[in-house]
């Protein structure tokens, strides 16, 4: 359960700090596909994010889903971002 959320802007990127049951957790969101360079992956090319500890968001023909769900359904698409 999220107790508190705070938006930090220490560097040129914004960070989101979440407080979960009195423990702080730092999430990193990395944008992969950009307007100047789109990154498309086939289902066989989708890899684990941070050895399975993170998730990737991919846009498929069936909508947005995690990379794990896309791999299970055998769908490829545009890799939007990675969260770890």
Specify the pLDDT at position 18: 67
pLDDT higher at 3 or 29: 29
- How would DSSP label each residue in 58-72? EEETTEEEEHHHHHH
Phi, psi of 62 (to 5 degrees): -105, 15
d(CA 68, CA 75) in angstroms, rounded, equals 10
pTM over 0.95: no
What would the pLDDT profile of 33-81 be if each residue is shown by its tens digit?
999 999 999 999 999 988 888 889 999 999 999 999 999 999 999 999 9
Specify the pLDDT at position 65: 92
Dihedral sign for Cα atoms in the order 8, 11, 14, 17: negative
What tokens were used for 36?
């100047």
pLDDT higher at 16 or 52: 52
Question: What residue ranges define each of the domains in the chain, with the CATH number in brackets?
Answer: 1-27 (no CATH), 32-84 (3.30.1490.10)
């Amino acid at each position: 359960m999220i107790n508190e959320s705070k938006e930090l802007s220490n560097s040129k990127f914004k960070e989101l700090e979440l407080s979960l049951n009195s423990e702080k957790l730092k999430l990193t969101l990395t944008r992969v596909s950009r307007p100047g360079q789109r990154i498309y992956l086939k289902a066989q090319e989708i890899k684990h994010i941070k050895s399975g500890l993170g998730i990737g968001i991919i846009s498929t023909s069936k909508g947005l889903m995690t990379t794990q769900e896309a791999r299970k359904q055998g769908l490829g698409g545009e890799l939007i971002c990675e969260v770890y």
